[in-house]
Amino acid sequence: MYTTLIQVRTIRYHHIADELRSRVQSGVYASGRLLPSESELSSEFSMSRVTVRKALELLRDEGLVDSRQGFGWFVAGEPVRQPLGRLATIEDQMRASGMTPERHVLEFAFEKAPRDVARALGTPNVLRVLRINLADGEPFAVVTVWCAAERGQHLSRADVERTPFYELLDVPLEGATQTIAADAATKSEATHLNVPEGAPVLRCRRVTTGSDGKPVLVSHHVFPGHRTEFVVDLPSAEPSIAPSGLRLVE
Amino acid sequence: MYTTLIQVRTIRYHHIADELRSRVQSGVYASGRLLPSESELSSEFSMSRVTVRKALELLRDEGLVDSRQGFGWFVAGEPVRQPLGRLATIEDQMRASGMTPERHVLEFAFEKAPRDVARALGTPNVLRVLRINLADGEPFAVVTVWCAAERGQHLSRADVERTPFYELLDVPLEGATQTIAADAATKSEATHLNVPEGAPVLRCRRVTTGSDGKPVLVSHHVFPGHRTEFVVDLPSAEPSIAPSGLRLVE
DNA sequence: GTCTGTCGGTTGTGTATACAACTCTAATAC
DNA sequence: GTATTAGAGTTGTATACACAACCGACAGAC
């Protein structure tokens, strides 16, 4: 029997990424620690700077490292766990993780709603609030909330910066439906969240309904993928213990 | 009063990305449709091919387009919605979206578990099954399932390819705890899911417990960000209607 | 002490070029 | 008819170079 040896190309930027990932995971580079500069890595690995960058960008997309122009590349931190089934605000959750929460309203405007929002709220005239949640001074989430203008006219910008919408609204709430997806950060999200465009984010869309079953709030929450993860308790699908809203998917 | 005009640099690859995104969203390029080649776009926009690629990669990270080496860039498809609170399998969900589900076992091995899995299952001796779920012949999810070897020894590879673990297990299930995070696809995930390394994925980790409250299964599910999203019903936090497992986060 | 500007070094964007790896079509051989 | 190969065109990786935008440290002015 005859065999053939073939020379297979190895992808150089993967080698760099693998080596750097290994150093981070073994603790050589601790959380928050600055990595060697692109130029230094280029010398160390005898590869062009573009190849080094390609490796670093791969690791950034994994959430393992991050960069600031002019400053350098550094190891990113640990995600905050947000239980979906627990009565806690984002701020409560940050405090439980030992972080200092902050909330800033970026935009507060009465305007015409996007079509899907208008359809959900039953009116195109809405109050839109764009706000950012910070944890220890760092961006944690960008949140856009829409409510009908009729309701929003009673709310001040200072109100919504100080107090969650749910506590401000004059209507009892029945619940919400939320979608959770992974996506790449858009330019403006990236700017607000201080992550690169294209970085993985959790994109949540929520419609909150009042006790009459009608939507009263639509909100979009965007979290950097490396900063948070959700936890869900999924009770068994056995009829005797099934709760009203949840089932085991698989 | 005097003012100063400053010339601000515009980032060229964003212009290309914005234009292409607009064409996709307006239907000029339909779902699945091949885009102009990099070379053609380079001519059209009078920019270097590297700049064109940067724009296309941005859109790929958004899940809007995808590429195959040698074939070209094309518009990607629509995500499948997976309710977390519904008694349905991944396969049921695909069928509901008009797709044909398939399931293939890639690896079936008795081995030593990773530390966290060993700790959860109470033993390092496990059966690990790596499988891929396809929708219409396209990769939809990569799933790794671990169960104790004691239990797994009664299961054949054909068993787990044909039937979900939950139906195969000889123990009543109480429920599961699942985390949901956004991350960038690793090299091997990317290969199995036919997405580029670094593309956004939903990474779910699940621990399924038996009726005695002990974990019987650990599983990791990875979904390409552009292929699926989760839907959760979040009943209100009002004490009178709060279910056992879920609360409104905010 | 604070404020401003400079400098060296850093990351981010962009061009040109080259070659590897892949895809599809058409031509040729059987 | 099928199978194979060549060629043109495509995306993917990599180098070299250049410049923009940013950062932090330091020096000088007040």
pLDDT in tens, A20-68: 988 988 888 887 788 999 999 998 999 899 999 999 988 887 778 888 8
Write out chain A's pLDDT in tens, 250 residues: 445 555 567 888 989 999 998 898 888 888 778 899 999 999 899 989 999 999 998 888 777 888 888 888 988 877 777 777 544 566 766 777 777 778 888 888 999 888 888 888 888 999 999 988 887 667 888 899 999 998 888 888 888 888 878 778 778 877 788 888 888 777 678 778 777 666 778 888 888 888 888 898 898 989 887 778 887 776 654 333 323 333 233 2
Residue B104 φ then ψ, to 5° = -130, 130
Distance B66 CA to D3 C1' (A): 32
Q: Is B74 within 8 Å of B66 (Cβ atoms)? A: yes
Taking the CA of residue B78 and the nearest CA in chain A, the distance in Å comes to 12
- Amino acid in the structure at residue A183: D
* CB < 8 Å to A58, chain B: 184, 197-198
Q: Check residue A206 and give its pLDDT.
A: 87
| Interchain CB contact of B249 with A (< 8 Å) | yes
Which SS3 state, helix, strand or coil, does residue A131 take?
A: strand
ipTM: 0.55
Q: What is the largest CA-CA distance in chain A?
A: 85
Q: Tell if B228 CB is < 7 Å from nucleic strand D.
A: no
Q: How many residues does chain B have?
A: 250
Interface A-B: count of C-beta contacts within 8 A: 230
The DSSP symbol for B36 reads P
Q: Is B128 within 8 Å of B113 (Cβ atoms)? A: yes
Which SS3 state, helix, strand or coil, does residue B72 take?
A: strand
CA angle A229, A235, A238 (to 5 degrees): 150
The DSSP symbol for B79 reads P
Q: Each residue of B198-236: b (16+ CB within 10 Å) or e? A: bbbbbbbbbbbbbeeeebbbbbbbbbbbbbbbbbbbbbb
Which SS3 state, helix, strand or coil, does residue A26 take?
A: coil
Distance A160 CA to C12 C1' (A): 37
Q: Check residue B27 and give its pLDDT.
A: 82
Q: Is B147 within 8 Å of B217 (Cβ atoms)? A: yes
Write out residues 6-45 of A within 8 Å (CB-CB) of B. 14
Distance B175 CA to C15 C1' (A): 57
Q: Tell if B14 CB is < 7 Å from nucleic strand D.
A: no
Which among A100, A118, A120 is positioned nearest to A208, based on CA atoms?
A120
β pairing state of B138-148 and B215-224 = antiparallel
Per-residue H/E/C for B145-157 = EEEEHHHHCCCCH
Beta-bridge partners for B141: B133
| Interchain CB contact of B88 with A (< 8 Å) | yes
| Interchain CB contact of B181 with A (< 8 Å) | yes
Distance B50 CA to C17 C1' (A): 12
Q: Tell if B9 CB is < 7 Å from nucleic strand D.
A: yes
pLDDT 10s digits, B135-152: 776 788 889 999 999 888
Write out residues 118-177 of B within 8 Å (CB-CB) of A. 164, 166, 172-177
Covered bases, chain C (protein CB within 7 Å): 9-17, 20-24
β pairing state of B173-184 and B65-68 = unpaired
Q: Is A29 within 8 Å of A75 (Cβ atoms)? A: yes
User: What sign does the CA torsion over A160, A165, A168, A170 have?
Assistant: positive
β pairing state of B65-68 and B72-75 = antiparallel
Which among A237, A204, A244 is positioned nearest to B89, based on CA atoms?
A237
Measure the N-to-C terminal CA separation of chain A; round to a whole number of Å: 48
Structural domains of chain A sorted by starting position, each given as residue range(s) with its CATH number in brackets? 12-75 (1.10.10.10), 80-241 (3.40.1410.10)
CA distances from B238 to A32, A235, B94 (A): 40, 20, 34
Q: Is A171 within 8 Å of B153 (Cβ atoms)? A: no
| Interchain CB contact of A1 with B (< 8 Å) | no
Nucleotide nearest to B73 (CA to C1'): D11
CA distances from A174 to A69, A117, A148 (A): 46, 19, 17
* CB < 8 Å to A250, chain B: 89-90, 164, 166
Alpha carbons within 13 angstroms on the beta-carbon side of residue B19 total: 12
Which among B185, B177, B187, B186 is positioned nearest to B226, based on CA atoms?
B185
Distance B240 CA to D25 C1' (A): 61
Which among B70, B51, B63, B50 is positioned nearest to B21, based on CA atoms?
B63
Which of B193, B233, B249 has the most A C-beta neighbours within 10 Å, making it the best mutation to test the interface with A? B249
Q: Check residue B54 and give its pLDDT.
A: 92
Residue numbers of chain B with a pLDDT score lower than 50: 1-2, 86-87, 237-250
Which among A184, A185, A179, A186 is positioned nearest to A220, based on CA atoms?
A179
* CB < 8 Å to B197, chain A: 58, 61
Q: Is A113 within 8 Å of A125 (Cβ atoms)? A: yes
Interchain proximity A235–B229, CB inside 8 Å = no
Q: Check residue B129 and give its pLDDT.
A: 92
Write out residues 197-236 of B within 8 Å (CB-CB) of A. 197-203, 206, 223, 225-226, 228-236
- State the Cα–Cα distance between residues B120 and A234, nearest whole angstrom: 17
- State the Cα–Cα distance between residues B95 and B89, nearest whole angstrom: 10
Interchain proximity B183–A186, CB inside 8 Å = no
Taking the CA of residue B88 and the nearest CA in chain A, the distance in Å comes to 5
